[in-house]
Amino acid sequence: MIHPIFLSCLLSGRQGSRVQVNGMKTTLLLAALTALFMALGYTLGGSGGALIALVVAAGMNLFTFWNADRIVLSMHDAREVDAQSAPDFYNLVRDLAQRAQLPMPRVYLIDQDAPNAFATGRDPDHAAVAATTGLLSMLSREEVAGVMAHELGHVKNRDTLIMTMVATIAGAISMLAQFGFFFRGGDREGHGNLAASLLAVIVAPFAAMIVQMAISRTREYGADRAGAEISGSPHALASALAKISGAAQAIPNPVVARNPATAQVYIVPTHVSELFSTHPATEKRIAALRAMAGDGVEDARAPIASAPRPSALSPVAPRRASRTRSALDPHRR
């Protein structure tokens, strides 16, 4: 129904074999997620329930296709900035976008202490990137460049639409399952479907979570690689991940508290257990970035040996070792 749209979005920008394989895998996973939604509808309402689930899934994804960026940004009360209101941050994103050969995305700031960032939008021509004020105050300029290059990597790999749509369907499955037991349990005729209803309520959300995690974890590794290539410094991105991962889990995030499905759009996971995280372990991502840089460091939890080394192509200037705050901090802390 909607899957050819996904596939065309994934394959139109890059023709490499790796991207094509990832596109096929994502399409199959999304098809499985939609089929699961329909199966849950059938379990709770028979053939009519399956048809309703199909229509609802199509409607949700069509709406999300055109409004993915607005949905995520409005949930975070993000404010758009430009070269006048946030010149350092905006110009940094502009330079990175030019290096990635991407259209200039809209740039947003989120007034939130938890350090994090995300990208959204249905395609590179309608993309937006956002970062929290907590992230800008915590990281150096080079590290912020690594983080925003990671987000532009999601845009370049055409992940942003997929992530938002997956979160929409997975959230709908969980919501439907929450009410499903009561709908079927109230059936005076019984029909022996109580066990099936229990199975749907328990298994369907868990299966949806597994599919969601499978998509998200694959995409994070790809965006890390793309971000390191765009910024020219795998060290800077690795350093940023090491700094913000602990704080992102320790500092409460009100948006995730209201809607846990939003956790998958961030560069690092919020305070959730590793079992239910939509991201790979941060230590594994750091190890992969170090391998890119040729460090040969196996223990990703060890301190990074040296300060991030800016590439000759990097749009950011080297930082003095004594500097303790980010020049991008909008509050100048």
Residue 34: the pLDDT is: 78
Beta bridge partners of 109: 79, 131
**What does the pLDDT profile of the chain (333 residues) look like in tens digits?**
444 444 344 334 443 555 565 567 667 767 777 787 788 778 777 888 889 888 887 887 778 778 878 888 988 999 999 999 999 999 999 999 999 999 999 999 999 999 999 999 888 999 999 999 999 999 999 999 999 999 999 999 888 877 777 766 666 676 666 666 555 544 455 444 565 566 566 666 666 666 666 666 778 888 999 999 999 999 999 999 999 988 888 888 888 777 666 777 888 877 554 445 667 888 999 999 999 887 543 444 344 344 444 433 334 444 443 444 555 666 655
Domain ranges of the chain: 3-293
Q: What are phi and psi of 151, to 5 degrees?
A: -65, -40
- What is the secondary structure of 217-275 as a DSSP string? HHHHHHHHHHHHHHHS-HHHHHHHHHHHHHHHHHS--HHHHH-GGGGGGSSS--S--GG
pLDDT for the residue numbered 10: 39
**Tokens standing for 102?**
């991407």
Cα 50 from Cα 53, distance rounded (Å): 5
Q: Which residue's entry shows tokens 């010149």?
A: 87
Are 147 and 139 within 8 A, CB to CB? Answer: yes
pLDDT for the residue numbered 239: 95
Nearest partner of 235 among 281, 303, 327, judged by Cα: 303
Position 241 scores a pLDDT of 95
pLDDT of residue 253: 82
Per the structure block, which two tokens stand in for 76? Answer: 């975070």
Which residues does the annotation mark as catalytic? 151
**Bridge partners (DSSP) listed for residue 309:** none
Assigned token pair, 32:
């499985």
Q: Which residues, in sequence order, are CB contacts of 286 under 8 Å at separation 6+?
A: 238, 241, 242, 300
pTM for the model stands at: 0.72
pLDDT of 58? 80
